[in-house]
Amino acid sequence: MRIAILSRNSQLYSTRRLKEAGEARGHQVDIIDTLHCYMDITRSRPTVRYQGEELPYYDAVIPRIGASITFYGTAVVRQFEMMGTFSVNESVAISRSRDKLRSLQLLSRKDIGLPRTGFANKPGDIPDLIKNVGGAPLVVKLLEGTQGIGVVLAETNKSAEAIIEAFMGLKANILVQEFVKEAKGADIRCFVVGGKVVAAMKRQGAEGEFRSNLHRGGSATLVRLSKEERATAVNAAKAMGLNVCGVDILQSNNGPVVMEVNSSPGLEGIEKATDKDVAAMIFDFIEQSAKPNSTRTKGKG
């Protein structure tokens, strides 16, 4: 098959591993910079152009869309979908996952475990917002934050009020969540491919750090999931409509709770922690799910 990887950086670990895994199976794999794509939107033959030329009609596309380019990146993915290309994650599912508030609302509707979360617009609602999530300590999150950036732990109700008021004063959209103290600065990243958890690792935050992100100095180790944790990850991926994703879970006194569903999870941490070839598993899914692009087979690309 002819497969495109949408990635801003061909030297990233995840991008390189995906290209290697695809080529090892005999596929033609092209790495395309998402922001260098531009679209010809026509009635009869939509195309994607790149560096002055029309791109071929691919059988499948693997979107590696960074959070900072979600709007444009999903538009490019959508254009490929219009061309009959199978997308590992559909554009609408990527957009859905990037909206933290919408994600939590969708997961809540499917009765998936979540930390108690509040969202408000007016400073006058802050005291009741704090009360409803169980009071301090609590976590304040920027809706647009990634990799632990824009996540603040408020130790007291007064500090929580001050932090929330400051964010509101900057017109920033925030979530307020209960602090799951019993997680002890650790979470579980479940890597889901095609409706199955194919790998899982426990991420432990650095000493004195409540955020477990590897980008913030956390460490990762292999972990064995309980049936409930595995089911939670699979159900969360299904609720978001994502075929390939990372589901981040906290172990709480009330069972597993989902913190986030990541539509472009990195491969480096999970592959090194579990010693599993996750990139190859993604290509297993593509080979099972994608069909030759009928447009391309008719000679258009």
One domain for residues 20 and 71:
yes
CATH number for 206: 3.30.470.20
CATH number for 168: 3.30.1490.20
One domain for residues 225 and 236:
yes
Contact 193, 277 (CB under 8 A): no
Strands of the sheet with 255-262, listed across from one edge: 219-222, 196-204, 186-193, 244-252, 255-262
- CB under 8 Å to 219, separation ≥6 — which residues? 203, 204, 206
One domain for residues 193 and 158:
no
Residue 124 lies inside a defined structural domain of this protein: yes
Check residue 299 and give its pLDDT. 40
Domain count, the chain: 3
- Cα torsion 79, 239, 245, 193 to 10°: value is -100
Q: Indicate the pLDDT class of residue 212, thresholds 50, 70 and 90.
A: low
Q: Which of 95, 130, 147 is the last residue of a domain?
A: 95
One domain for residues 16 and 85:
yes
Most distant CA atoms of the chain, gap in Å = 66
123 against 88, higher pLDDT = 88
Check residue 256 and give its pLDDT. 95
Q: Give the whole-angstrom CA distance, residue 258 versus residue 236.
A: 8
Residue 301 lies inside a defined structural domain of this protein: no
Residue 264 lies inside a defined structural domain of this protein: yes
One domain for residues 156 and 14:
no
Q: Indicate the pLDDT class of residue 217, thresholds 50, 70 and 90.
A: low
Q: Indicate the pLDDT class of residue 214, thresholds 50, 70 and 90.
A: low
Q: Indicate the pLDDT class of residue 170, thresholds 50, 70 and 90.
A: confident
Residue 293 lies inside a defined structural domain of this protein: no
One domain for residues 108 and 238:
yes
CATH number for 33: 3.40.50.20
Q: Which of 43, 64, 95 is the last residue of a domain?
A: 95
Residue 84 lies inside a defined structural domain of this protein: yes
Average pLDDT over residues 236-242: 97
Q: How far is CA 80 from the centre of its chain?
A: 20
One domain for residues 124 and 205:
no
Among left, alpha and beta (phi > 0; psi -120 to 50; other), residue 44 is alpha
Q: Which of 131, 153, 179 is the last residue of a domain?
A: 179
Q: Give the whole-angstrom CA distance, residue 107 versus residue 111.
A: 7
pLDDT tens-digit profile of 187-202?
999 999 999 999 999 9
For 148, the domain range is 117-179
Q: What share of the chain in percent tops pLDDT 70?
A: 91
One domain for residues 229 and 267:
yes
215 has a pLDDT exceeding 80: no
Residue 71 lies inside a defined structural domain of this protein: yes
pLDDT tens-digit profile of 17-60?
999 999 999 999 999 999 999 999 887 789 999 999 999 999 99
Check residue 145 and give its pLDDT. 57
Average pLDDT over residues 107-127: 91
Contact 70, 89 (CB under 8 A): no
One domain for residues 49 and 172:
no
Residue 298 lies inside a defined structural domain of this protein: no
- CB under 8 Å to 53, separation ≥6 — which residues? none
One domain for residues 108 and 248:
yes
Residue 108 lies inside a defined structural domain of this protein: yes
Strands 47-50 and 37-40 come out as: antiparallel
One domain for residues 108 and 239:
yes
Check residue 204 and give its pLDDT. 84
Strands of the sheet with 53-54, listed across from one edge: 37-40, 47-50, 53-54
292 has a pLDDT exceeding 70: yes
C-alpha distance from residue 19 to each of 61, 84, 245, 278 (Å): 12, 21, 18, 12
One domain for residues 61 and 19:
yes
